[in-house]
Amino acid sequence: MISAICSRVFEEVIGHYHQHNVIDYHPGNPYAPGSLEYLLYAKCWIDTAQWHMEDEIRNPAIEPAAALTWKRRIDRSNQERTDIVEELDNYFFEKYKDITPVESARINTESPAWAIDRLSILALKIYHMHEETLRAGASETHLEQCRRKLAVLLQQRDDLSLAIDELLEDIQKGDRYMKVYLQMKMYNDPELNPVLYNSKK
């Protein structure tokens, strides 16, 4: 099942990252370019690095200049995340392009890749919440709250995994069809963000 492949690769990425726990470290993608695993690895690496960027920018003692630097990096990372999700949707679109939808086929509110995006974020939440259940020096109240939250996250992963697999199965059977929706983010585009294009005048 696709969701099992996703979870395996996501756990691999998160494990690789935390061997070094350095935002700018990158071991290189171990999978063949163009493969599903390659795209999943690249996608989750972006998410994992950005997770830790988000931690950095929330440091209450951060200097304004450093905060702006992190904000700019997070903006770039968000654009990279969007780009890789669109690549993933293109992968699935190509995979199922020869499927003829049945007359009653419906479109889904969310594309396969954007659902997989949520699964990647859930993998990060699960990893870090599990870490909190083992946190040295934390109160038993904190540990118990985190154990309860971890149980909820694990159930959410099961539910989302099932939904992803059912969506892809429905697309393969022709009961649903998909389109690749481009996000058209405007704030990063110097031709579409008025603050950027007016600054050239």
Interval 121-177: pLDDT, tens: 999 999 999 999 999 999 999 999 999 999 999 999 999 999 999 999 999 999 998
- Over residues 64-69, the mean pLDDT reads 95
- pLDDT, residue 178, reads 85
Report yes or no: 107 and 179 within 8 Å, Cβ to Cβ. yes
Angle, helix 64-95 to helix 112-133, in steps of 10 degrees: 130
Rounded-to-integer distance, Cα 67 and Cα 72, Å: 9
- Over residues 38-63, the mean pLDDT reads 96
- Tell me the per-residue pLDDT of 94-116, one tens digit each, with 9 for 90 and over: 999 999 999 998 988 899 999 99
% helix, strand, coil for the chain, step of 5: 65, 0, 30
Rounded-to-integer distance, Cα 196 and Cα 201, Å: 10
Task: For residue 134, give the amino acid letter.
Answer: L
CA angle 21, 9, 79 (to 5 degrees): 70
Position 27 pLDDT exceeds 90? no
Rounded-to-integer distance, Cα 90 and Cα 113, Å: 9
- Over residues 65-79, the mean pLDDT reads 95
- Over residues 45-56, the mean pLDDT reads 96
- pLDDT, residue 184, reads 60
